[in-house]
Structure 1
Amino acid sequence: FFFQESLLEQNLKARGHICIFLLKFHCKLDPIEMYWGWCKHWYCKIYKVKFKDAKKVAQQCLNKCPVKVICQFFNQPWWFMDAYHKGLIGKVAEWAVCKQKSHRRVGQCAMMSVDTMLT
């Protein structure tokens, strides 16, 4: 039953689309929300006179986001999940993720820094 495709998945795949179900995240950790926010940021910077122009600019902004940036949007929730898995919560987890931004996970060095701050 677990591996059975839902009706939604079957219909989407029949039409040639890919269906990905993501975990429920806070909106600041949701990769789709990050992508949408990135697109809205660029959309607001472009002057639009008519509705036709607005539709064209919206499509351009949606296509403008580089794949590298989209990958970063999908990696960020994993950093937080790693921090939460290691027992960090709230602001401490946020600090550890920010400190370890260049790494794929929250490192032992950050964990030792957190231990030092808490004791």
Structure 2
Amino acid sequence: NCCLHRILSLQEDFQGEKSLLKKMIMDVGDICHFLPKFHPEMNLIEYLWGWAKQYFHERSNGNFRTAQKLWQEALNSCP
């Protein structure tokens, strides 16, 4: 199975072929960027999530009402 995938992936006409999922997304006019698997350091959302968590933890006082207000503020603070 993996050998057939490797052989096909090296074929010129196969390399340019879009996946069914990507075709369906593009057919409705949306854009889809597939990121490499298992590489969160290449995914911008990981940096933004880390920024928001740090912001939250630096300002949190353990109070639930503060946390309710702070989570939105933390997300909005991302550069």
- Alpha-carbon spacing, 1:34–1:51, altered in 2? closer, same or farther (3 Å): same
Residue 28 (1) aligns with residue 48 (2): no
- Alpha-carbon spacing, 1:60–1:29, altered in 2? closer, same or farther (3 Å): same
- What secondary structure is seen at the aligned counterpart in 2 of 1:48? coil
CA distance in structure 2 between the partners assigned to 1:61 and 1:19 by the alignment: 28
What runs of 5+ residues in structure 1 fail to find an aligned partner? 11-17, 67-119
- Matched with 1:4 is 24
Deviations 1:32-62 (A, max 9, x none): 1111001111111103242121121111010
How far apart are residue 23 of structure 1 and its match? 0.9
- What secondary structure is seen at the aligned counterpart in 2 of 1:24? coil
- What secondary structure is seen at the aligned counterpart in 1 of 2:23? coil
Which structure has the bigger radius of gyration?
2
CA distance in structure 2 between the partners assigned to 1:4 and 1:32 by the alignment: 24
Question: Equivalent pairs: percent with the same residue?
Answer: 29
- Alpha-carbon spacing, 1:55–1:20, altered in 2? closer, same or farther (3 Å): farther
TM-score between the two structures when normalised by the length of structure 1: 0.37
Moved over 3 A (4+): 18-22
Q: Which amino acid aligns with 2:35?
A: L
Q: CA RMSD in A?
A: 2.8
Residue 59 (1) aligns with residue 69 (2): no
Q: Which amino acid aligns with 1:23?
A: L
Deviations 1:68-93 (A, max 9, x none): xxxxxxxxxxxxxxxxxxxxxxxxxx
TM-score between the two structures when normalised by the length of structure 2: 0.52
Aligned residues: 56
What runs of 5+ residues in structure 2 fail to find an aligned partner? 1-19
